[in-house]
């Protein structure tokens, strides 16, 4: 067993040398994850093995098939990230239409408007924490409007959401899940009792009304939970990681400023170089199988290293070099297979609008001191704060 906690804070700040060291010894390892919330399981760090594992039906997303129980599921309800077909197919089909390329592109004017309003408020200050002032409020506003969530206490919600995806300890995580579940119950009930609006959550409620028990109360809560949390957490990190990567690679930043046609490629390179989701959510071996020459027993937890795979030199030459001119290499930052990220088109749109607008309106954007800590745990990859000036 490899205890990743023994690498200390350096692993949280920069896990890629550790992943490279592991890959030299093989693509799959039995590891103990760092605290808090340490657990033992398999970690896949090779690109080809990770891509295959993401689409392997023998690796279940349902903890119950691995003999595990989930208190979070008991409190929040069932949702797509912990379901297999046919349940997964049914749940995902309810929201797929809201995230097609055409529907997402129709959101561009509103995304641009929100971006401009945030910059109008931020720029006169001459400096700010980019996370608090820009990278967080943009995606949370977009997803709240899409779902039909009224103005919420964003400070309180951010604390709840962060505690769920990057918990400091089990008790605080559980408290955050309970608090968010109660909020969502109240929101859903309010929409039931009043005239549903022209939003995604109202659509889901109407679908249940028309089709009987197609969506249970728990499923509605679970769907709202995953769309609200996953719909903003990843994009916050994508925008923050993108700005940080550009500001710490001035040659690449200059190239992008000189030629904005590189923007789409820049977003893809950020996703590959410093993807916002370090590892995919847990999978569970529904039966014995082999990955990368290692025997995986039924019930074992398997964690697929998305960022680790994206830095596999066998797939992507010179992987630790940030290069906007790099040809697309098929990164795994949005996953692969039936669980490929539903919100990928929206995340890409928000990142492109955010980066273009920020760079065009802040020609002298620069770091204003060291960044904050990297998020703890191995799920999300992002900075807690990013001080910048202009």
215-252 tens-digit pLDDT: 788 888 888 888 888 888 899 999 999 999 999 999 99
Number of domains in the chain: 1
Q: What does the alpha-carbon distance between residue 205 and residue 325 come to, in Å, rounded to a whole number?
A: 45
Determine the pLDDT at residue 71: 65
pLDDT range class, residue 120, cuts 50, 70, 90: very high
What is the chain's mean pLDDT, rounded?
A: 90
120 contact partners, CB below 8 Å, separation of at least 6: none
CA 268 → CA 122, 176, 200, 377, distances in Å?
A: 26, 32, 28, 24
What is the C-alpha separation between 284 and 37, in angstroms, rounded?
18
Res. 389: pLDDT tops 70: yes
Question: Which residue matches tokens 């697929």?
Answer: 304
Percent of the chain with pLDDT over 90: 65
Where would I find the H helices in 211-343? 217-247, 250-258, 263-273, 306-310
Separation in Å, CA 273 to CA 11, 254, 321: 16, 18, 8
Res 297: pLDDT: 96
pLDDT of residue 369: 95
Phi-psi region of 20 (alpha: psi -120 to 50; beta: other; left: phi over 0): alpha
User: Binning pLDDT at 50, 70 and 90, where does residue 390 land?
Assistant: very high
Instruction: Compute the average pLDDT of residues 133-148.
Output: 91
- pLDDT value of residue 72: 67
Range of the domain at 254: 2-389
Residue 153 banded pLDDT, cuts 50, 70, 90 = low
Indicate if the pLDDT at residue 194 is higher than 70.
Answer: yes
Q: Is the torsion defined by CA of 68, 73, 79, 80 positive or negative?
A: negative
The residue whose two tokens read 């691995």 is 66
Give the pLDDT confidence of 319-330 residue by residue, as tens digits. 999 999 998 779
Residue 366 in this model has a pLDDT that exceeds 50: yes
Of 77-86, 190-199, 230-239, 288-297, give the lowest mean pLDDT range. 190-199
Structure tokens given for 63: 């903890």
pLDDT band at 303 (very low <50, low <70, confident <90, very high): very high
CATH code of 184's domain: 1.10.630.10
- Taking only Cα atoms into account, the Rg of the chain, rounded to an integer number of angstroms, comes to 21
Contact present, 379 and 165 (Cβ < 8 Å): yes
Higher-scoring residue by pLDDT: 47, 229: 47
Which one, of 93, 91, 1, 96, lies nearest residue 40 by Cα?
1
Write out the two tokens for 350. 């928000």
Confidence bin at 209 (pLDDT 50/70/90): very low
> 15-24, 175-184, 245-254 — which is least confidently predicted?
175-184
The predicted-structure confidence for 154-171, as pLDDT tens digits, reads as follows 677 778 888 888 777 667
pLDDT of 293 > 80? The answer is yes
Q: For residue 147, is pLDDT > 90? A: no
Give me the percent of the chain exceeding a pLDDT of 70: 95
- Which band of pLDDT confidence, cut at 50, 70 and 90, is reported for residue 9? very high
Nearest to 325 by CA among 243, 236, 382, 263: 263
Given the DSSP bridges, would you call strands 301-304 and 40-44 parallel, antiparallel or unpaired? Answer: parallel
Three-class DSSP category at 31: strand
pTM: 0.93
What is the rounded average pLDDT of the residues 1-7?
94
Q: What's residue 283's pLDDT? A: 96
Q: For residue 143, give both structure tokens.
A: 């997803």
Q: For 198-226, what is the mean pLDDT?
A: 77
pLDDT of residue 211: 54
Question: How many Å apart are CA 285 and CA 354, to the nearest integer?
Answer: 39
- pLDDT of amino acid 377: 87
Least confident range of 69-83, 238-252, 304-318:
69-83
């Amino acid at each position: 067993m490899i205890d990743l906690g023994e690498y200390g804070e350096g692993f949280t700040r920069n896990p890629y040398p550790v992943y490279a060291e592991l890959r030299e010894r093989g693509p799959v390892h039995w590891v103990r994850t760092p605290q808090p919330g340490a657990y033992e399981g398999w970690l896949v760090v090779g690109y080809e093995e990770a891509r295959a594992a993401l689409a392997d039906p023998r690796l279940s997303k349902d903890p119950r098939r691995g003999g595990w129980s989930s208190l979070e599921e008991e409190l929040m309800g069932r949702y797509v990230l912990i379901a297999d077909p046919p349940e997964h197919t049914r749940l995902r089909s309810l929201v797929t239409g809201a995230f097609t390329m055409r529907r997402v592109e129709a959101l561009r004017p509103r995304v641009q408007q929100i971006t401009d309003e945030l910059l109008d408020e931020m720029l006169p200050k001459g400096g700010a924490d980019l996370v608090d002032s820009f990278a967080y409020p943009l995606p949370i506003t977009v997803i709240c409007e899409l779902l039909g969530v009224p103005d919420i206490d964003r400070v309180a919600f951010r604390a709840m959401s962060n505690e769920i995806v990057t918990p400091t300890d089990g008790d605080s995580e559980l408290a955050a899940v309970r608090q968010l579940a109660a909020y969502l119950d109240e929101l859903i009930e309010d929409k039931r009792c009043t005239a549903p609006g022209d939003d995604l959550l109202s659509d889901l409620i109407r679908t249940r009304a028309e089709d009987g028990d197609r969506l249970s109360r728990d499923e509605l809560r679970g769907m709202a939970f995953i769309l609200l949390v996953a719909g903003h957490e990843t994009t916050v990190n994508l925008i923050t990681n993108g700005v940080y990567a550009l500001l710490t690679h001035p040659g690449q930043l200059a190239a992008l400023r000189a030629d904005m046609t590189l923007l789409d490629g820049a977003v893809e390179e950020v996703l590959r170089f410093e993807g916002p989701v370090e590892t995919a959510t847990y999978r569970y071996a529904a039966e014995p199988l082999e990955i990368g020459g290692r025997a995986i027993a039924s019930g074992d937890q398997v964690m697929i290293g998305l960022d680790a795979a994206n830095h596999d030199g066998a797939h992507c030459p010179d992987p630790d070099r940030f290069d906007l001119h790099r040809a697309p290499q098929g990164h795994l930052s949005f996953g692969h297979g039936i669980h490929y990220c539903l919100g990928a088109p929206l995340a890409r749109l928000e990142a492109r609008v955010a980066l273009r607008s920020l760079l065009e309106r802040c020609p002298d954007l620069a770091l204003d001191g060291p960044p904050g800590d990297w998020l703890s745990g191995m799920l999300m990859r992002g900075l807690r704060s990013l001080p910048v000036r202009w």
